[in-house]
């Protein structure tokens, strides 16, 4: 492993934030008022950083070693994100095992998609071998709550997910989750809430630049613990969600522009990571393109061919339904025939396609 570098050495990448506090965290699935609550736990977090300089990484000159084993060689996943990713995993509960490769809660977990999400599908449907997954994603998450505030102060940001959950518990390669650099994929899916909560501001470009300095620093922390294989998902076209379309064409256009800017930053960050660390492998998955394809033509994939409505949702379904295929007579179609479960979140068939397309990219070995 490359010798650890203190994040103080890349303090120029981070905005000044000094705080120590203890708060009660409740696992929330949805970003908006559509909230499903799982288990509450308490964490103490201490953050400190300083800012200036581009979102880059410390330099490395050692000869490269390839750690990417191909998708068939991945047996551990470590995942960070927001409501599009969370399954309600609690670090204090059961850890991944043969009985439940995602640990807790029972499959598919507490998702925002009325069924399995892309992490569920990657772990149990499109896996090439047995995979154990640590999913630290938290509904409503942004990269850093101090930079872009989430909808509730108790939401665990990416910074929290890395600093207060991953580093203390999983960074040491514990016996109960014995991951290695050569069998583990680290995945991060952020941006929906960062864009959604900031695109209306006149200085959103500056905000995103600061966020990506922080994002890069957090990814570097993962690298220093042995992470070598990275998957970054860009932001889907939530400018086409009912939440944004209800605000009119001007809001849609503004959010679409902000999403494009965010996604360009994701691509640049991933490229810089592999340029700096020549033993790292990165994949950038174009979530935006896949979602756009299905929204434009649901029949483009068999899994989404049943979608009859890609623009609205039925209010009776918005908080989830008893089964993945529930049909209420006051709704025009069964729940899984709607692309949107509610104003912001897709139903599980879209997540099925997302996972399928991710695996196709990972299986090609083309980083």
Residue 141 domain-assigned (yes or no): yes
**How much is the pLDDT for 45?**
32
Say what the pTM is: 0.84
Average pLDDT over residues 319-324: 98
- Total of domains in the chain: 1
Task: Say if 353 falls within a structural domain.
Answer: yes
The answer to whether residue 1 is domain-embedded is no
Return all residues near 249 (Cβ < 8 A) that are at least 6 apart: none
> What are 90's two structure tokens?
């609690």
DSSP codes of every residue in 133-180? EEE---TT--S-TTTS--SSTT---HHHIIIIIIHHHTTT--TTS---
The pLDDT value given to residue 366: 46
pLDDT band at residue 21, thresholds of 50, 70 and 90?
Answer: very low
Q: Is residue 86 part of a domain?
A: yes
Residue 227 lies in a domain: yes
Pairing of strands 37-47, 19-28: antiparallel
pLDDT digits (tens, 9 = 90+) for 282-293: 999 999 999 999
Compute the mean pLDDT over every residue in the chain, rounded to the nearest whole number: 87
pLDDT exceeding 70 applies to what percent of the chain?
Answer: 82
Chain segment 94-153, per-residue pLDDT in tens: 999 999 999 999 999 999 999 999 999 999 999 999 999 999 999 999 999 999 999 999
Q: Does residue 115 sit within a domain? A: yes
Judged against a pLDDT cut of 60, whether residue 365 lies above it is answered with yes
Task: Report pLDDT digits (tens) over 24-70.
Answer: 333 434 333 222 323 333 333 333 333 333 345 544 444 567 899 99
Q: What is the mean pLDDT of residues 228-251?
A: 99
The pLDDT assigned to 34 comes to 25
Amino acid 65: pLDDT: 76
Angle at the Cα of 117 (from 113 to 123), degrees rounded to 5?
160
What pLDDT was estimated at residue 64? Answer: 65
pLDDT at res. 6: 35
Higher local confidence (pLDDT), 267 or 48: 267
**Domain range for 77:** 7-363
In sequence order, which residues have a C-beta less than 8 Å from that of residue 268 and are 6 or more positions away?
Answer: 55, 212
Segment 327-360, tens digit of pLDDT = 999 999 999 999 999 999 999 999 999 999 999 9
Task: Flag whether pLDDT at 84 surpasses 60.
Answer: yes
In a domain, 2, yes or no: no
In the prediction, which pLDDT does 63 show? 54
CATH number at residue 270: 3.40.50.1110
Residue 79 has pLDDT above 70, yes or no: yes
Nearest to 80 by CA among 147, 145, 26, 160: 160
Flag whether 344 is in a domain. Answer: yes
| Across 15-29, 195-209, 233-247, 285-299, least confident range | 15-29
At residue 16, does pLDDT exceed 90?
no
């Amino acid at each position: 492993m490359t010798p650890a570098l203190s994040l103080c050495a890349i303090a120029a990448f981070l905005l000044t934030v000094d705080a120590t506090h203890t708060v009660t965290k409740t696992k929330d699935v949805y970003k908006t008022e559509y909230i499903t609550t799982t288990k509450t736990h308490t964490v103490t977090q201490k953050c400190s950083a300083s800012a200036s300089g581009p979102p880059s990484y410390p330099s490395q000159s050692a000869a490269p070693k390839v750690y990417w084993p191909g998708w068939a060689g991945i047996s551990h996943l470590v995942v960070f994100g927001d409501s599009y990713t969370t399954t309600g995993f609690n670090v204090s509960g059961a850890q991944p095992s043969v009985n439940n490769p995602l640990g807790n809660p029972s499959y598919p977990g507490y998702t925002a998609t009325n069924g399995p999400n892309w992490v569920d599908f990657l772990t149990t449907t499109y896996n090439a071998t047995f995979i154990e997954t640590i999913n630290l994603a938290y509904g409503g998450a942004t990269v850093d709550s101090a930079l872009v505030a989430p909808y509730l102060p108790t939401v665990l940001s990416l910074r929290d997910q890395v600093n207060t959950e991953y580093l203390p518990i999983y960074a040491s390669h514990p016996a109960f989750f014995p991951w290695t650099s050569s069998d583990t994929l680290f995945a991060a899916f952020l941006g929906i809430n960062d864009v959604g909560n900031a695109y209306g501001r006149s200085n959103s470009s500056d905000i995103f630049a600061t966020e990506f300095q922080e994002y890069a620093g957090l990814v570097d922390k993962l690298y220093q613990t042995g992470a070598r294989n990275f998957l970054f998902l860009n932001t889907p076209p939530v400018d086409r969600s009912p939440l944004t379309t209800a605000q009119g064409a001007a809001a849609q256009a503004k959010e679409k522009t902000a999403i494009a800017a965010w996604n360009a930053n994701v691509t640049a960050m991933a490229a810089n990571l592999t340029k700096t660390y020549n033993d790292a492998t990165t994949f950038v998955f174009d979530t935006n393109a896949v979602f756009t394809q299905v929204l434009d033509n649901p029949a483009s994939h068999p899994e989404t061919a049943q979608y009859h409505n890609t623009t609205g949702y039925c209010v009776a379904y918005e908080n989830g339904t008893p089964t993945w295929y529930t049909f209420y007579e006051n709704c025009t179609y069964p729940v899984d025939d709607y692309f949107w479960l509610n104003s912001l979140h897709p139903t599980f068939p879209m997540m099925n396609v997302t996972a399928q397309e991710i695996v196709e990219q990972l299986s090609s070995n083309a980083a």
